[in-house]
Amino acid sequence: MKLRPHLHVRQSRSAFAEGNARWTNLDLDPVPRHRRQWGPSSFIAYWISDAFNAATWQFASSMMAVGLGWRESLIIVAISFFIISFVIAANGAVGSIYHIPFPVIARASWGFWGSYIAIVSRVILALFWFAIQNVNGGNAVRAMIGAIWPSFLTLENGIPETEGITTNGMVSYLIFWILQFPFLCIHPNKVRWLFVVKSILVPIAWIAILIWAFVTEGGGGMFAQEATVSGSTYSWLFLANMTSVLGNYATLSVNQSDFSRYSRVSAKWQLLYIPMLPIVFTFISFIGIAASSAGHARYGGPIPWDPIVLISNWSSRACRFFAAFSFALASLGVNISANSISAANDLTALFPSYVDLRRGQIICGILSWCLVPWKILASAGNFLNFMSAYAIFLGPIAAIMLWDFWVLKRRKYDTLALYQPRNPVYGYGGWGVNWRAVVAFLVGVVPCLPGLINSVNEGVEVGVGVHPYQFGWILGFVGTSVVYVGLSLWFPVEEAMVERAVMPEEVYDARVEGVEAGEEIIGGRKKSVGREKREEVDF
């Protein structure tokens, strides 16, 4: 029979939501045993791949540009990733244990309808960051084309200057977008091979750049740079830059379960992130400092904080091409791992009848054009402001998820109830909204809003109101943690405190046994089914 495209996505007779297409589809259901294909090597490759991107390269160098020394800059990167690695590991472990994605996990702490607050907050940020990475990838493609066809870099510009992009920039953006598009159609179980390839090729290229920096200029003179600020200015600058680093990976502190749900190994492997992330990310930031320093010493002019600007000065066209290719591959990998799959999971949760993971990633790719990211970058005050804004929403969300699972619910979730809105376990009084999470979220976000407004429009004077925003992730995480745990203990939700965890394996196994016996397990009750119906069941 010829398959025809349908507006609705393919739905199974779900063992989890009684076939309720409003709350699940095949991609939102817990991952069954035979589809759990991520092992330790996959997760290591994933994080090495995720770490090697242009943003990480620019972390420390961007801090030096605003007045900090190289030592302080690297210390900030190390401390920030040490802090956030605990949150990533803790929230990622939930996915490894229950094999469910972030939008479903959020129902346990927010309620079914309340989870939309967390989902919408993350999907907006994931879409914007996906678009920004497309610009970085497009810049790398432009350098690649320029290495092969030098006259491309001087192509006559037919786009108004106010648009923030040139003709060759737009062509390069389009090429990167087209080359990236096929990867948006790959399931997370298969795309892990992209991370393996990237985790081999990109580190080799960047370590070669580090060797070039020390062989040619001994690393340059930037390692002699000391902080140019002191006192309270230094302290606030230190906190602001820490927030920026935390903000850049705040999304992975909530969405790690989107990948860990495919794990075939113990959740203890998530602890690998705690020593690994600070070391890897600090090392890459060190490469950025050394390369920028050597580039400034060798070529003069403004310090080439942007790695594409640096490699554009090289005389060897082959070196320019392969170095630029490594940055294009870096942008591609991080866009898939941190942004498109995150957005796809969120869109699937919002519209499960019409969106699955593949469609969600394609929608994310299309929307990236609508956001005109080249204008965002052209008008941004600096690279760090965007990342700070990114942090203030996700810090509180990560805090609510972490404390709900590890402390309040005592690591016991009822997986079946997470897909059944009529089940009282996570119904939160029948309203489907946990007001404790909403209040705690507002407490974490609201103090940072004046500073956020000021960062977007410096003409709006907020005085000391800018300071909470300068350490927004930490303030939001801590403030939300205290309020959420306090309210949950003061006004406990007894029905959500299940006596034992209900694992997805139990539901799948019970359904298999029921089908084999001519029965179907639905909502804890057995119903007789015919042979024809049993054959339709999709596991």
Residue 441 is assigned to a structural domain of this protein: no
In a domain, 19, yes or no: no
Interval 183-197: pLDDT, tens: 999 888 888 899 999
Instruction: Tell me if 426 is assigned to some domain.
Output: no
Q: For residue 174, give the CATH number of its domain.
A: 1.10.4160.10
Number of structural domains found in the chain: 1
Residues of the chain scoring pLDDT < 50: 1-2, 380-382, 515-539
pTM of the model: 0.88
- H-only helix segments in 312-411: 317-335, 341-350, 357-370, 373-379, 383-403
Cβ–Cβ contacts within 10 Å for residue 97, how many?
A: 22
DSSP 336: I
In a domain, 489, yes or no: no
Q: How far apart are CA 80 and CA 60, in angstroms?
A: 12
User: What pLDDT is stored for residue 22 in this prediction?
Assistant: 83
Alpha-carbon torsion angle 195, 201, 203, 204, nearest 10: 160
Question: What token pair was written down for 352?
Answer: 């499960």
Alpha-carbon gap, residue 102 to 65, rounded angstroms: 36
Give the range of the structural domain holding residue 95, as residue numbers without chain letter: 44-385
- pLDDT number for residue 528: 39
Looking at residue 396, its pLDDT comes to: 95
Q: What are phi and psi of 27, to 5 degrees?
A: -80, -15
Tokens of 449: 């809003």
Is residue 498 one of the residues assigned to a domain? no
Could you tell me if residue 348 is inside a domain?
Answer: yes
Angle between helices 102-110 and 435-445 (to 10 degrees): 100
Radius of gyration of the chain (CA): 24
Q: Give me the pLDDT at residue 126, please.
A: 87
Strand partners for 522: 525
Residue 301 belongs to some domain of the structure: yes
- Quote the pLDDT of residue 14: 66
Q: Give 414's strand partners.
A: 502
Position 475 scores a pLDDT of 92
Q: What is the pLDDT of residue 5?
A: 61
Element housing 467 (H / E): helix 466-470
- 39: nearest Cα among 267, 198, 273, 263: 263
> What is the predicted pLDDT for the residue at 534?
33
Query: Quick check: is 477 in a domain?
Result: no
Residue 31: predicted pLDDT: 93
